[in-house]
Structure 1
Amino acid sequence: MRKVTFCLVVAGMIISCGKQKKEETVAKAETVVEEVSKGLAAVSGAMMENAVIYEANIRQYSEEGSFKAFTKDIPTLKNLGVKILWVMPIYPISTTKSKGSLGSYYAISDYTKVNPEFGTLEDFRELVRTAHDNGIYVVLDWVANHTGWDHVWLKEHPEFYTKNDKGEITHTVGTDWTDVADLDYDNEEMRKGMLDAMKYWVEQEGVDGFRCDVAGMVPVDFWNNTVAELKKIKPVFMLAEGWESELMEKAFDMGYGWDTHHVMNHIAKGENTVDAWDKRMVQVDSMYAKDDILMNFTSNHDENSWNGTVQERMGDSKELFAALSYVAPGMPLIYSGQEYDMDKRLLFFEKDTIIKKKDVFYPLYEKLGKLKNENSALHGGKNAASYNRIKTSADTKVLAFKREKEGDKVVFVANMTKESVKFTAEYDGKFKDYLSGEYVDGAKGQEYELDPWQYLILIKQE
């Protein structure tokens, strides 16, 4: 009898110790989140209205290619009006079937650890803490469609993966992504494991949301259910690498403005006129709900590495389209290095380095960021400012539109060609040219002339 009592006491001690250890772990996680999130308001619709988003390529951002080196420059991003920091995948990279000497960030071997190439988990926590101290939200790049071939699931849960007719695990069909194994979303346990991994970063590391890689290749119901669960922890910001409107019905706040980007490229090359921009704006109105947000960009990691630099694609029009990405409806993106006039394609599977030299674009992004942050006429979130085209006598060459909200009014006028253009505009008033500081008096029927690719951001004066 005494022996049984002793066993019960020991069992009780084990259970008590286990419970205490679990409680200590939870308390520790809560302390980490509290520390890294201190003083930062929760994600909200209001912060999305005037935000600039920055894509951080940790490997290539500095010579060190580390969290620490990037963290030092976060106050610089604040100067550019950045409010959301999208960090490209930070997780360990698979070496099996990898491409290049370092492999792809998107071939992940563990969803809940950090790549030692970039530093330690504590280094990442300091990055998040510093971002939050500067009023910047941090979203992680999440790869839900596939894993690298070294992922623990390949050994422990091969049933989580798509298989061919021979029963072999395969890479994603229809792609050349041979360095990754395709996940099977018919498997409910895999879905649960994916949710748990995402919850870890929100619950225990204090991140503020996710940019989800090839989101349209993952079932929408997974995203809807997963984001609903994440929001039980705290409000999160969700960016889909996709343009499908159904992604933004429930799960995602913002999608990619891919077609807007392509229109910019075609106009820059002289392949399209302003008419293509007008058609795109009509398309956006018809395809998306009023509270859907599209991300505007002139570059990102895919465009830069595979399709060319901004200079290659846009040439002398690159400043105009940078400005347009800020003043058009939506949220503007800066990709790592754009603020330093980067004119090289960054290597994707190897170490490369951005040269930091402030020239044309840093001060331009600084001014555009300030205007985006402070002027409600440029709100581009769930309660966006209005967008109305202004008719000109050269509508296929000159893009002119006005945006208004809460008494603020901004007019954008641009020559979208490589030749000088004379024109009249059906608009009048007194304006201040935001970039030059000069005052402009406009009247209907008055003739104007703009140099090739010249643009004006005009602030309406009462």
Structure 2
Amino acid sequence: MRKNLSLFIIASLVLLGTSCKQKANNDNLTVETEEKCTVQHLDWTRNAVIYEVNIRQYTKEGTFAAFEQHLPRLKELGVDVLWIMPVHPISEKNRKGTLGSYYAVKDYKGINPEFGTKEDFKRLVDKAHEMGFKVIIDWVANHTGWDNAWITEHPDWYMKDSTNTIVSPYDWTDTAELNYDNNDMRTAMVGAMKYWVTDFDIDGFRCDMAHEVPTDFWNSTRKELDSVKPMFMLAESENSDLLEHAFDANYSWELMHMMADVVKKTKNADTIYSYIQKLDTTICSDAYKMNFLTNHDENSWNGTEFERYGKGVEAFAVLTYTLNGMPMIYTGQEVGLKKRLSFFEKDQVPSWNENSTTEFYKKLNNLKRTHPALRAGEQGGKIKRYSTSANDNLLIFSREREGKEILVMLNLSDKNITYTSNDGFGRGNFTDYFTGTAIKELPATLKPWEYRVLTK
């Protein structure tokens, strides 16, 4: 997805109420939820961290081979899933900018020559697998570029207006919208997806604008892909019906915007907790949310996480790692990238020098990987919020699993907060996760944007 994000996000939020747990029991109705949610998650997904790879901007060369040299660094960072932005050739007709959008696909079975060859990509995937990574690729199923062969060979595979002219979705004039009423097109799309599984052994797909494609297509496609190799499927959407039979995880756009609104003081800690509670009634109980601060769209069009969250960046990062779901890191986030990367031009990450931000994310990745309470879905610990005299500014919660507890304390404000509580949290001996020091008494005051992660 690219520009005009707010339009799509609003549409997604309107549809959020439709889910596998969609009706309250106000009329003493019995709501059957478990039967409607059939996705079986692979075990490795439970404590995984996703890393989004922008090949074009990653290195001076902007190639698979150059990115491959970063695999040892990413292994040390502690990420698990490499989500590689679209690898396909980019259409030249109606192209935006010099290099065009990755999401204007010219050939679903081709490799962007800007990045290298099919052999280069196969070697990258094989090397990543040898090192223990999983690899998923971006899949653009809603539209193609204008010089995709399908346009001339199968014009009936596309949406048309009243004059029989193929149309673009939204203002994406570099793309042509596909018609999912055409079964032949559906068959070709599934075949193209299978190609990357059989020939390159990828582990799943991040599906662009997944809610713009009929849910029944994804439901049947998931079964077909799993018959070749069990998949991990991530939907760029907040439509919860996609989580019932097709996708392991979808986006937490709503949370991302709430965090920015907290900085603007139009939302607060209570608002975020209400969002957490809402998920218990709007998505499958074992479904995942992908929690994130930034991605390719946010960075390019709306600003870096430092522009949007200011001094709250680390506190919000802690939140994305300790809530139920899967955390995600975008290219350069782990070194504190403070640059908006151009979308249609070459604009590489200026430096990969490690710093305190890198160490911060290494610690978070290790916590996600090792703490049983942070496993995604039903296998993680339930979130219990502790009430304080400053609920509008403080979000304090714990999660416990297998006798291990994590206590998260967040001051989501730009001022010192002194509080009291009768909830009796923090009993017993804790260790401050980031400093390793023993904690016998919880702090009564939290500094602006201060976070504490305590384990027991």
Question: Please, which runs of 5 or more residues in structure 2 have no aligned partner?
Answer: 1-39
1:35 is matched with which residue?
Answer: none
**Equivalent residue for 1:146?**
143
The alpha carbon displacement at 1:382 in A equals 4.8
Q: For residue 136 of structure 2, give the secondary structure of its aligned residue in structure 1.
A: strand
Please state whether the residue corresponding to 1:132 is helix, strand or coil: helix
Residues 1:291 and 2:290 are matched in the alignment: no
**Is residue 51–residue 81 contact of structure 1 (8 Å, CA) maintained in 2?**
no
CA distance in 1, matches of 2:182, 2:362: 47
Give the whole-Å Cα distance in 2 for the aligned partners of 1:265 and 1:69. 34
Partner of 1:17: none
Structure-2-length-normalised TM-score: 0.89
Return the letter of the residue paired with 1:430. Answer: N
Pairwise mapping of residues 123-162 of structure 1 onto structure 2 (< 5 A)?
123-162=120-159
Identify the residue that residue 27 of structure 1 maps to in structure 2.
none
1:438 corresponding residue in structure 2: 437
2:387 aligns to what?
391
Whether 2:402 is the aligned partner of 1:402: answer no
Partner of 1:380: 376
Instruction: Give the residue type in structure 2 aligned to 1:270.
Output: K
1:83 equivalent in structure 2 = 80
CA distance in 2, matches of 1:371, 1:79: 14
Secondary structure of the 1:332 match is strand
Answer whether contact 1:293 1:382 (CA < 8 A) is retained. Answer: no
Superimposed CA distance per residue, residues 38-59 of structure 1 (whole angstroms, 9 cap, x where no aligned partner): xxxxx95321111000000000
Report the residue type matching 2:93 in the other structure: T
1:408-456 deviation per Cα after TM superposition (whole angstroms, max 9, x unaligned): 110000111101111134312211000011111237xxx6111110100
Matched, 1:331 2:331: no
2:163 paired residue number: 166
Aligned to 1:228: 223
Q: Contact 1:429–1:442 (CA<8 Å) still a contact in 2?
A: no
**Deviations 1:172-206, CA, capped at 9 Å, x for gaps:** 1xx11000000000000000000000000001110
Aligned residue number for residue 411 of structure 1: 407
Counterpart position of 2:15? none
Q: Secondary structure at the match of 1:386?
A: coil
Per the TM alignment, residue 78 of structure 1 is displaced from its structure 2 partner at its CA by 1.7
The alignment's C-alpha RMSD in Å is 1.2
Q: How far, CA to CA, are the matches of 1:126 and 1:364 in structure 2?
A: 31
- Structure 1 residue corresponding to 2:194, chosen from 199, 204, 207: 199
Could you tell me how far apart the structure 2 residues matched to 1:364 and 1:402 are?
A: 21
Contact 1:331 1:381 (8 Å CA) reproduced: no
Task: Give the alignment of 1:307-318 within 5 angstroms.
Answer: 307-318=302-313
Larger Rg: 1
- The CA deviation at 1:360 is 2.5
Distance 1:450 1:246 in 2: 40
Once the two structures are TM-superposed, the CA of residue 311 in structure 1 deviates from its matched residue by: 0.7
SS at match of 2:454: strand
3-state secondary structure, aligned to 1:317: helix
SS of match in other structure, 2:127: helix
Counterpart among 430, 440, 450 of residue 454 in structure 1: 450
Query: Where in structure 1 do 4 or more consecutive aligned residues deviate above 6 Å?
Result: none
Q: Are the structure 2 counterparts of residues 134 and 382 from structure 1 closer, same or farther at C-alpha, using a change threshold of 3 Å? A: farther
Is the Cα–Cα contact under 8 Å of residues 49 and 382 in structure 1 kept in the other structure? no
Equivalences for residues 33-182 of structure 1 within 5 A: 45-172=42-169, 175-182=170-177
Q: Which amino acid aligns with 2:291?
A: N
- Rounded Cα–Cα distance in structure 2 between residues aligned with 1:387 and 1:46: 21
- Superposed CA deviations along residues 327-378 of structure 1, whole A, max 9, x for unmatched, are 1111100000101110111000000011212223110010110111011111
Instruction: Count residues with an aligned counterpart.
Output: 413
Is 1:242 aligned to residue 237 of structure 2?
A: yes
CA 1:228 to 1:113, structure 2 compared with 1: closer, same or farther past 3 Å? Answer: same
Q: Which of 334, 344, 347 is equivalent to 2:342?
A: 347
Q: Secondary structure at 1:404's aligned position in 2?
A: strand
Contact between 2:42 and 2:232, CA under 8 Å: does it hold in 1?
A: no
